[in-house]
Structure 1
Amino acid sequence: PARFEEGDTLVSWLAEIVGFSPSDTRLAREVPFMQDTSTGRPAGKIDLVVARVADTGLQWYGLEIQAVYFSGRGMQSEYEALQNDVDPYPPFPGAVRRPDWRSSSAKRLMPQLQIKVPTLRRWGSKLAVAVDGPFFESMGGPSSNPSRDLNDGDIIWMVPVLLPKERGGFLLSRGHWEVLTLEESSRKLLAAETVSRNAFEQTLLEKLKPLVRPTE
């Protein structure tokens, strides 16, 4: 989401987490990570790369920002209503929508992590992922004993918060962060477990219908 670009908050936060000083920190956007085997064109990118060029060589960390997708009608009508609204509070939504946590996490984010993280692990780097609070809560929220040791995992999870300003509006601010392995992250993103065989087959029996209907 564009809101996560505010004030380079996430970039400076990640730089501090990995030990980069503000004066040494560099930023690159949409760096090609994969290429098409037939055309050689970029087939996948890392959203942001936070780096430091030092005497010891180039050090860098990827940063992916994951939005939450909605199920329901498009949002264009809501933006049009906001443009014409003069009330101090936003207008009530004109359609029923809900955040689609599963499409946002298990179906979209998890495949990206399973492709990118193993390569970054071989390269001696890590990937940071920024999501909002409700998204992270849908994954189970903070770990019971969260680690902030970069050696403990592959992915730096960053969960910024919006804090109210004195004169109205909100400010993107630092919130929770922790380090998880790819395997731990995948389990949290999946947020589901396989049903028993008996339960599956019971549901199957209830849903089975003849392929050919008997003639009268």
Structure 2
Amino acid sequence: MAIKPRKPKAAPKTKPQKQYFGMAEWYGQLYRNLGDAQRKLYAETKNTLEPCPFLHQVPALGPQSGKLHCNKKGGVCSLRNFHDDVTFGPITATCPNRFLENATIVRHIGRVLLGADTPLFAKEIAFLKRPKTGIAGEAEAAAKAEEEEAEEAEEDSGQEAAAVESGREDVGRIDLVFVHPDDSEKWCAVEMQAVYFSGGKMADDLTVIRKHAGNAIPMPGSARHPDFRSSGPKRLMPQLMIKVPTLRRWGKKMVVVIDRPFLDSMSGMEPQDHISNCDIVWVVVRFDEDVVHGSATLVIDQTIFTTLDHAVKALTSGMPTTLPDFEGKLSGKLAPAISVSPAAALIVPPGLAED
């Protein structure tokens, strides 16, 4: 009987270092600049009692209720990585309202796409027709009724939450449209994509803040990180794949507003040399800090023209593994799909026994 050689022991795996992303901006102010008293005050403040500085700068793009308070539970505008020596990574937006600062993107999109710095706008335009008959129609009607009830409740409370956060993501609408003020046939669709995060709750940070003493900057209360995969391939990519082909047939462009860390999480996109050859215009912003005044300023980092195909490839982020690598991983994970005891294996089903 041949003796199989023992497999060499695999080198011990090194655990990836935990990422402690905490508040970058809190109610529009740089977290690192806040003193202990201000942090403790914000930790006890209900977000709806605080004004959103970015909505106040572009009130027309705010909620239909006209209430311009913070509509992000906890009031966190953006996140950044905290390092043990209290140095900080770049700022990445977690609230889409963060992109409205000083109407910078409004003027930029109007100028690049429409040739007008002050475009008109419309929000929540129906895009896909829902089925009206059969089981699918009944389900859609029920879902629509639930949406309307939730929207009425939000309107009554003055709280307009993002649909994706409340579980009511609707690819059947175009969220925002900019239109040339003198030519209604010149328009573009706009999508502002902030990032979600995975890991510990922000409430853990509030607990640390309440217990903290002194003006030193408290570290985040738990490990978390921006979830670019949920924000990109799982949320943004379906939006683009559903809406862009129709917009392309209509001769219109989709504009996607993201920040620099979001772009860096994607694989490289092959840019087109002219807007006429693209399907999607990526407006990439960054947040330049002014530590003296305790704020960060939104700046246009770059504008990229791409096709839908190149955008999808970039959002899926990564090259396929090789067949040998895949099968090597597969062999290490194989296990019986059905457990069969030796006694049960001897039982022959009726009709299969030999004569």
Normalising to structure 1: TM-score of the pair? 0.84
Change (3 A) 1:153 1:82: farther
Kindly indicate whether residue 258 of structure 2 is the aligned counterpart of residue 113 of structure 1.
no
Number of the residue aligned with 2:283:
158
Number of the residue aligned with 1:27:
121
User: How far apart are residue 21 of structure 1 and its match?
Assistant: 2.0
In 2, the alpha carbon distance for the partners of 1:103 and 1:185 equals 16
Trace 1:164-179 onto structure 2 (pairs within 5 A).
Answer: 164-165=289-290, 167-179=293-305
Number of the residue aligned with 2:88:
none
Unaligned ranges ≥5, structure 2: 1-94, 133-139, 148-169, 344-355
Number of the residue aligned with 1:132:
259
Kindly indicate whether residue 178 of structure 2 is the aligned counterpart of residue 50 of structure 1.
yes
In 2, the alpha carbon distance for the partners of 1:21 and 1:32 equals 25
State whether residues 148 and 177 of structure 1, in contact with CA within 8 Å, keep that contact through their aligned partners in structure 2: no
State whether residues 273 and 305 of structure 2, in contact with CA within 8 Å, keep that contact through their aligned partners in structure 1: yes
Q: Which piece of structure 1 moves more, 57-66 or 179-188?
A: 57-66
State whether residues 178 and 190 of structure 2, in contact with CA within 8 Å, keep that contact through their aligned partners in structure 1: yes
Number of the residue aligned with 1:98:
225
Q: Which piece of structure 1 moves more, 31-40 or 73-82?
A: 73-82
In 1, the alpha carbon distance for the partners of 2:258 and 2:265 equals 11
**Partner deviation per Cα, 1:20-75 (whole Å, 9 max, x = no partner):** 3235x1012222222322257595222221111435x5211111011211111222
- Alignment length (residue pairs): 212
Change (3 A) 1:80 1:62: farther
Kindly indicate whether residue 330 of structure 2 is the aligned counterpart of residue 189 of structure 1.
no
In 2, the alpha carbon distance for the partners of 1:118 and 1:75 equals 38
State whether residues 82 and 90 of structure 1, in contact with CA within 8 Å, keep that contact through their aligned partners in structure 2: no
Bigger fraction of residues in strand: 1
Normalising to structure 2: TM-score of the pair? 0.53
User: How far apart are residue 179 of structure 1 and its match?
Assistant: 0.2
User: How far apart are residue 89 of structure 1 and its match?
Assistant: 6.8
Change (3 A) 1:212 1:86: closer
State whether residues 148 and 178 of structure 1, in contact with CA within 8 Å, keep that contact through their aligned partners in structure 2: no
Change (3 A) 1:15 1:77: same
For residue 125 of structure 1, what is the amino acid of its counterpart? Answer: K
Q: Which piece of structure 1 moves more, 89-98 or 71-80?
A: 71-80
Equivalent position SS for 2:116:
coil
In 2, the alpha carbon distance for the partners of 1:10 and 1:84 equals 39
Unaligned ranges ≥5, structure 1: none
Identity of aligned residues (%): 35
Equivalent position SS for 1:207:
coil
Equivalent position SS for 2:332:
helix
Of 170, 195, 209, 2:335 maps to 209
Q: Which piece of structure 1 moves more, 88-97 or 109-118?
A: 88-97
Of 198, 201, 207, 2:324 maps to 198
Change (3 A) 1:193 1:74: same
